[in-house]
Structure 1
């Protein structure tokens, strides 16, 4: 499913409880939205075929299926992935 980010308060609660943040399923998604696959292709300016190939290789944004068929990604995860790609490209350029 991709990386899950906790709010500072939730991460502290998890730490206080002695539970690994990686194992926690309680995530604050307030204000976040699910972005359909087609819209994510427009946002990233990648073709749907390229995104499908990247997903197949485990290199693309952290898509998951809703209702067994529809591919979506959390908007915050999509933009975090885009930022990570930019950072990786900048690191290579240096």
Structure 2
């Protein structure tokens, strides 16, 4: 299995997150979603660390155990 690079294209980042590239593009245009950087005028890249951090920040709290 090939290891992903540390920086991902929008297509790779969308696949990594399990969403469409269109959703990722929409989030960028609205100033939402994971952090990214421009490596050129039209060259967008995402760091895997930022994608993982973004997901971690959105994890829900564990559900309370019933009967306690």
> After TM superposition, is the score higher than 0.5?
yes
TM-score by length of 1: 0.55
Count of aligned pairs between the two proteins = 59
Unaligned segments of structure 2, at least 5 residues:
none
RMSD: 1.9
The list of structure 1 runs, each at least 4 consecutive aligned residues, that deviate by more than 6 angstroms after superposition, is none
* Pair 1:44-2:17 in alignment: yes
1:55-74 aligned within 5 A: 55-74=28-47
Unaligned segments of structure 1, at least 5 residues:
1-31
TM-score by length of 2: 0.72
Which residue of the partner structure matches residue 55 of structure 2? 82
Structure that is richer in helix per residue: 1
